[in-house]
Structure formats: structure tokens, C-alpha cells
Amino acid sequence: MAELHLNIGTIAALPKAQLDTILSRLREKGYRTVGPRIRDDAVVCGPIAGLADLPQGLTSVENAGQYRIVPSGNKRYFDITPGAQSWKQFFFPPRVSLFTARKNGNWNVEKPSEPAPQIAMIGVRPCDIAAIKIQDMAFMRDDFTDPLYRDRRKNAFLVAVNCLHPGGTCFCDSMGTGPKAGGDFDLALTELDDVFILEIGSEAGKEIVKGMPLQPADASLQQKADQGLAAAREKMGRRMDVRDLPDLILKNLNHPEWEAVAKRCMSCASCTLVCPTCFCWDTQDHTSLDGNETERERVWDSCFNPGFSYQAGGNTRPNTRSRYRQWLSHKLGSWKEQYGVLGCVGCGRCITWCPVKIDITEQVAALRKEARS
Amino acid sequence: MTTLVATNRPAAVSSEDLLSPSWAEVVDIKQEIEKTGTVWLRFKDPALQKAYTFAPGQFNMLFLPGYGEAAISICSDGEKRDTIGHTVRFVGNVTNAISRLKAGDTIGLRGPFGTHWPIEQLEGKDILLAAGGIGLPPLRPVIYHILRHRAKFGKVILLYGARTPSDLLYTAEFEEWRKADIDIQVTVDRADDTWKGQVGVVPLLFYRYRFDAAKTAVMTCGPEIMIRFVVFEALARRIPADQIFVSLERNMKCGQGSCGHCQLGPFFVCKDGPVFPFSAIEPYFSVEEF
């Protein structure tokens, strides 16, 4: 067997059973291997010891306010799109300690000392890679880098999976983030019926697969993968016309549609929690009864929460109309000026998990009607 | 939209430590008017106190364990580096707890944060300061700067308004400021028996003056409704929108444009503000509840 010369960008055929080897090698290097697992009839990010833990033969059906897991009719492991959870929980934990202030004669500040976890993320979709890159821009800026985020991000190993089976609320093709990962992974997999096509994305990725029985991916395999990706683009459950974003939003901040959507929106914050790019956070101080110890935690916050814009002078955004407008006009509008990209990657989670079926792609279309340009 | 250049962070304030406080001692707390007082702080670490600098218009996050944290602008003279002053209106949980502090007590401090009044770029200009109520403290460091460099500025006018005569801050200093040729006009919304001055809102005071629009810079801080009308009066007199500087208030938690609370369109008020040239925020400032 000819030894395949491995480099960043090398593409090879990986027998499916070999994914177990990759996982065990990652664990040997100290990574916790985390990937798609079924819990309570939904996909969550859970511990993955091997192939047996993956949701083989299953797929998900999504629509606005709807999510079901059904048999896929094949034996693939990654035909199921992500559930409500995104990977942001591992870099930007929903609840994390910032410091503890303790009075022992004098007041002191102690910062959490445990090292950031080392997590290998298995099955990161191209949209979610794009989302991670977007959160990188928010948490690792030139003028301020969040140490908690940075340490977790630095420690991660990303195994991407290209999407051959997009969900009913997916629109990554419109946002230019998928269905194929363009980079920023350590390893990427494209799953065909009997083999993975593996792409090496980094030195760390190369190190993990070194010495494994990799075969060159012949042209017919690559063709199958390309056909699958082309078909996936056609099968996107949603589309979003992004041509005139962010201007469409920022020039229509008084559009009647904001009032209309506010009549349906419950300000429940679901969309911001499932969104893989939403980065807003709040602080909570927890104080001991004797008052000598206060722990400050950082928790996820949402622009839909009434307290989000509350200050002594009153509430800047006192109603659902202004809060929904803040969310959408940030995500698809002012985000671009802040970070140079839109804040939406087309993962569709906010559509799937909205209890009242508000659909971000429909909202953009509705704004376009009677829009001022 | 161009905002102001970020103010340099003092080298002693580590960027890794911006999310946790340093401890300061309350040197003095002085009641100014009803429900408003000035708390004077000094870092417990003398090296940090020595290295700590701020520019006029910046703010600190003041932290009282068990009560929480609040964004308070710095009201003291940036050149007097032995203590840091904050005039606080006692309205909420944290600020009421601050009102009960005594000299010798400990308080947490993070900062300084935000942009500053670009006073160093405004030399040679006529300066119009317009403040309402608790909007005067963030402007006081500018006044101290002007007092120290008075010859570098043209006419200097302070328009100041409060609800009633007993709500006026820093009146004991007005005489000294006037001696330095700062024209101070004071107005109140509601007069009492003792009041012999002007009654009405701050923007009305504009009618007393003729401005050399091309040579005038405006700095304003106060209730948002007052800022709106001050800007309106300034623009009506052809003062350019990029020479009108406003300091805005928003809910703030982190102080470095990370937590997202203080957003106004593309801006994080804590990082890109609180001081903005009006030209930058104009498209968003006019949108209600934005």
C-alpha cells in the first residue's frame, strides 16, 4: 500500500471504523470527545466514545416550531442536523465564574484557577464553524480579549462534517457558510454510504491521523461527494435574500413589520439561546449570608429580556417591538459594521426552536415589501 | 461613521484583569445635594494609584460586594492624581449602598472605560458646555482642564439646568469658574422663593448667545431629552454635527464592548462612547426605543 503523503489540504478515504481510532487518539492526547448524541428525542452535544454512540440511521425533520427525529433509511452516522445546542456552550459557557471576592480582614479577589477544558468537537457543521469564527471576533478583539473564551478556544480540536443532508430550516447556502466547510477545522469529514472522505485542515489534524490506513480518495469518490454537496444546496429548506443587507434593515427601522412581528413574538429569548453567534452576557453576583463572600458569574443574556436595557433613567427598549428589532437589526444589520460580517450563519435554529414559528427568512422578506431604500 | 479614538488604557490596568475589580479605599464621601454625593477613592495599591490615569468623560465601574456594580463617570480633576472622585445620584440598589459608605470603607473599582471629551483637539475654539442635572459631573473634568489651560480656548460658556434650585451641583465652585472667564448660565425647571435666576429648560439658554458656528464646539450631557434639544439648537445655529459631542447613558455591565447591553446600532456605548460626535450617532439617535 502506497504511503499517502500527508499535508494540510490532503484529501483521503477513511474507512468508517477508523473514526474510532481518531477518537481514541484524541482522548490519548487529553481531549474530551464530544459529538451528536440523542437525548430526550433530540440531538445534543454529548460525550462520544466511539461510532456506536453516534445517531446512526437517524435524521431530523425541521420546520418552523417543529423538530422530530425519524429513521433516515440508511446507515450513515451524520445525516442528522444539529439540535438546539450549538458549540458556543463550550467556549462561552452558559454560566461561568468570573471571580470570587472574599473578605478576610481585607477584601481579596480570587479568579478561578482550573485550566480550560480540552474538547474535541466531532461533527461540527460548516455553519457552526462560521459561527465559531464570528464569536472569535466578538471575544478575541485586538483591543480586548476575553481570557475565558480564548483559553477554551485555543484548547479545542474541531472535526467538521460537511452537510449532505441539510434540514428543513437550513439556509447556509444563502449565507455562504456551507454546506461545505471552507477551512478553520483540524479535520473534516464528508460521509458517503461506506466511507468517509477526510480532509486535513491543520498540523494538529495531521498529527492525529498520521500512520492510519488512509487511501487516496479516487476521482469517483470525490465526484460522489461533490454531487452530494450540490444536491444539498438544492435541498436547503429555506433561502434568504441577503443582497441588500444590512441596509435593508438599517433603513427600515420604523417599518410596520416590526409591530406585526411583535404581536406574535413572546420575547421568550429562545432564538438568542439557540443562536450560535449571539454573545450577550449578564453578570450575577451571589453573596453569602454573612456578606463576606461574593461570587460573580457570567451568564448568557438576551436582548429579549426586560432587564437587558434597563437603567436608572428607564428602559431603553420597553416592549417586544423594540427588542425584536434590536435582535434582527443587530444580527443582520449593525453586526456588519461591528465585525465586518453578518451575524447570521443560516443554521436555522431560531426558526426551528421558536415556539410561535417566527421565521427569520420570512421576516427579511416581509421587510423587503414596502421597504425604503 | 467615525467615532472618537479609544482612550489609551493606563499601562497599570492589565487587559487580563478588566473583568475583576481592584480595591480602593473611601477617602471621603461628601453630600452634594439631596440624594447625591461625591465619593472620593484611592486604590489600596499605591503603585496602581500612582499609575492610574483617566481622561475627562471616562467612567469607572464601582462594585460593592453583596450589592453589585454600577457605571459612574469620573468627576474629578485628571491632574490631581491622589484621589478619584465620583458624584453619584443615589437612586438604585448599588448607589444607595454607596450613599451609606464612610471614610475607610472598601469598594471595588474597574476602569477607566470609554472614550473621552476630545478637549485636546478643541484648542482655539469657543467651547459650549450644556449640562442637565447629574450630567454636570462628567463634564467637570473638562472644566478643570479648561481652567488649567484657559488661554488655549476662546469663549467658554457653561449652560446648566436642574429641576429646582436645591438640585444644582457644585454651585460653590461657580465663582472660581466665573473668575476664569467661564460664562455660566443657570436655569431651573421650577423656581422656589429664593430663586432670582432663569426658569426653563437648558436649550432655551441658547437664545442668549450668538455663536461663531465654525469656531464653536459643543459638549453636552444630561437627560436624553435635553441632549436631543441641545443638539437641535446647536445644529439650527449651523454648528457642525461633528463638533457636537454628546455623552450617552445605557445599561452597562462589562465596560469593554463584550456583554452587548449598551448597544446603540453598531456602537457599544461603553467602548465606542460614552462620548460620541453627534455625526456618528445621528442615524440611530433619532430612532425611538432603539
The per-residue pLDDT for range B133-173, each reduced to its tens digit, is 999 999 999 999 999 999 999 999 999 999 999 999 999 99
Cα(B264)–Cα(A156) distance, integer angstroms: 33
The answer to whether residue B41 is domain-embedded is yes
Query: Are both B124 and B236 inside the same structural domain?
Result: yes
Q: Is A160 within 8 Å of A185 (Cβ atoms)?
A: yes
The three cell numbers locating residue B260? 452587548
Q: Both A301 and A261 in a single domain?
A: yes
Looking at the partner chain, which of A287, A307, A333 has a beta carbon nearest the beta carbon of B65? A287
Grid coordinates in use for B261?
A: 447591553
* B123 and B243 both lie in a single domain: yes
ipTM of this complex > 0.85? Answer: yes
Question: Considering the domain boundaries, does residue B285 fall inside one?
Answer: no
* Residue pLDDT, tens place only, A299-355: 999 999 999 999 877 899 999 999 999 999 999 999 999 999 999 999 999 999 999
Q: Position A181: which residue type?
A: A
Q: Which among B23, B65, B95 has CB closest to A294?
A: B65
Tally of domains in chain A: 2
Identity of residue A87: W
Query: Does residue B55 sit within a domain?
Result: yes
User: B94 to chain A nearest CA, in Å?
Assistant: 11
Residues B243 and B142 in one domain: yes
The CA–CA distances, whole Å, from B96 to A266, B67, B90 equal 34, 9, 5
**B271/A313 Cβ within 8 A:** no
Q: Note whether B217 and B153 are within 8 A (CB).
A: no
My answer on whether A210 and A340 are in the same domain is no
Whether A5 is in a domain gets the answer: no
Same domain, A251 and A231: no
Is the separation of the CB atoms in B44 and B52 below 8 Å? no
pLDDT at A1: 47
What is the share, in percent, of chain B residues with pLDDT greater than 90?
A: 92
If asked whether residues B162 and B137 sit together in one domain, one would say yes
Average pLDDT score over residue span B218-228: 96
Among candidate residues B77, B96, B113, the one where a domain is terminated: B113
Final residue of a domain: which of A201, A235, A269?
A235
The Cα–Cα gap between A37 and A55 comes to 6
Q: Are A190 and A277 in a shared domain?
A: no
Q: What is the mean pLDDT of residues B177-204?
A: 97
Instruction: Work out the burial of residue A182: count CB atoms within 10 Å of its CB; fewer than 13 is exposed, 13-18 middle, 19 or more buried.
Output: middle
In chain A, the residue whose alpha carbon lies closest to the alpha carbon of B260 is A280
Residue A184 lies in a domain: yes
Pairing mode of beta strands B263-264, B267-268: antiparallel
Residue B192: exposure state from Cβ atoms within 10 A (0-12, 13-18, ≥19): exposed
Grid cell locating A209: 491521523
Q: A183 and A268, same structural domain?
A: no
Q: Do residues A195 and A270 both lie within one domain?
A: no
Q: Which residues are registered as beta bridge partners of A35?
A: A46
Q: What is the pLDDT of residue A311?
A: 86
Q: Are residues B95 and B143 in the same domain?
A: no
Whole-angstrom distance, CA of residue A195 vs CA of residue A159: 16
Using the 8-state DSSP alphabet, how is residue A6 labeled?
Answer: P
- Which of these, A218, A223, A225, lies nearest to A4 by C-alpha position? A218
Q: Residues A280, A300: contact at Cβ < 8 Å? A: yes
pLDDT attached to residue A2: 54
| Residues of A (287-326) whose Cβ lies below 8 Å from B | 287, 291, 293-294, 296, 298, 301, 303, 307-313, 316-319, 321-322, 325-326
Cell of A318: 420597553
User: Peptide bond before B274: cis, by omega within 30 degrees of 0?
Assistant: yes
**Which residues have C-beta within 8 Å of that of residue A351, sequence separation ≥ 6?**
A62, A63, A64, A65, A169, A238, A357, A358, A359, A360, A361
Asked whether residue A240 is assigned to any structural domain, the reply reads no
**Cell numbers representing residue A212 in the block:** 492510519
Quick: pLDDT tens for A38-53.
999 999 999 999 999 9
What CATH number is associated with residue B143?
3.40.50.80
Instruction: Assess whether A212 and A252 both reside in one domain.
Output: no
- Cα distance between residue A184 and residue A158, in whole Å: 8
Of A235, A266, A297, the last residue of a domain is A235
- Asked whether residue B93 falls in the same domain as residue B127, the answer is no
- According to the model, what pLDDT value does residue A265 have? 98
Phi, then psi, of A80 in degrees rounded to 5 = -110, 125
- Structural domain total, chain B: 2
Q: Residue B256 falls within a domain, yes or no?
A: no
Same domain, A56 and A148: yes
Residue A242 lies in a domain: no
Q: Answer yes or no: are the C-beta atoms of B89 and B134 closer than 8 Å.
A: yes
10-residue averages of pLDDT along chain A (373 residues): 80 96 98 97 96 96 96 95 96 97 94 94 98 97 92 97 95 96 96 96 96 92 95 95 94 96 97 98 96 97 96 89 98 96 98 98 94 77
Let me know whether B130 and B207 are in one domain: yes
Q: Are residues A224 and A273 in the same domain?
A: no
3-state helix, strand, coil in chain B (%, to 5): 30, 30, 40
Q: Are residues A208 and A256 in the same domain?
A: no
pLDDT bracket for residue B37 (50, 70, 90)? very high
Q: Is residue A1 part of a domain?
A: no
Q: A80 lies in which domain range?
A: 11-235
Kindly state whether residues B83 and B50 are assigned to the same domain: yes
Q: What local confidence, expressed as pLDDT, does residue A143 receive? A: 87
Sign of CA dihedral B203, B204, B205, B209: positive
Q: Are residues B67 and B153 in the same domain?
A: no
Average pLDDT, chain A: 95
Contact: B283, A250; criterion CB under 8 Å: yes
B66 touches chain A (CB under 8 A): yes
Q: Does a structural domain hold residue A35?
A: yes
Residue at which a domain ends, from B92, B113, B134: B113
Bridge partners (DSSP) of residue B132 are: B161
Which uninterrupted H or E stretch holds A204?
Answer: helix A203-209
CB B201, CB B187: distance < 8 Å? yes
- Looking at the complex, report in whole angstroms how far the Cα of residue B15 sits from the nearest Cα belonging to chain A: 7
Residue B4 lies inside a defined structural domain of this protein: no
Query: Are B191 and B174 in the same domain?
Result: yes
Q: Are strands B244-247 and B263-264 parallel, antiparallel or unpaired?
A: unpaired
Q: B234 and B191, same structural domain?
A: yes
Three-class SS of A98-127: EEEEEEECEEEEECCCCCCCCEEEEEECHH
For residues A349 and A333, is the Cβ–Cβ distance under 8 A? Answer: no
Residue pair A365/A355 in contact (Cβ under 8 Å)? The answer is no
Give the H/E segment covering residue A128: helix A126-139
Q: Which residues are A43's β-sheet partners?
A: A38
Each as own residue / partner, the long-range contacts of residues A152-155 (CB below 8 Å, 24 or more positions apart, any chain) are A152/A90, A152/A91, A152/A93, A152/A116, A152/A117, A152/A119, A153/A91, A154/A116, A155/A116, A155/A117, A155/A118, A155/A119
Position B232 in a domain:
yes
Domain boundary among B98, B113, B128: B113
Instruction: Evaluate if residue B77 carries a pLDDT over 50.
Output: yes
Note down the domain range covering B34.
15-113
What residues in B contact A283, CB-CB < 8 Å?
69, 253-254, 259
| A241 in a structural domain | no
Do B72 and B127 share a domain, yes or no?
no
Minimal Cα distance from B223: which residue of A? A313
**Distance, first Cα to last Cα, chain A:** 62
* CA separation for the pair B170, B76 (Å, rounded): 12
C-alpha to C-alpha distance for B55 and B116, rounded to whole angstroms: 6
The DSSP string of A259-326 is HHHHHH-----HHHHH-SS---EEEEEEE-TTSSEEEEEEEE--TTSGGGGEETTEESS-SHHHHHHH
DSSP secondary structure letter of residue A361 = H
Shared-domain flag, residues A254 and A105? no
- Grid coordinates representing B95? 448607589
Residues of A whose CB is below 8 A from B224: 313
* Residues A199 and A297 grouped into a single domain: no
User: In this structure, what is the dihedral angle of CA atoms A318, A320, A326, A329, given to the nearest 10 degrees?
Assistant: -150
The pLDDT value recorded for residue B4 is 82
B51-56 mean pLDDT: 95
Which of A235, A257, A277 terminates a domain? The answer is A235
Q: Is residue B262 part of a domain?
A: no
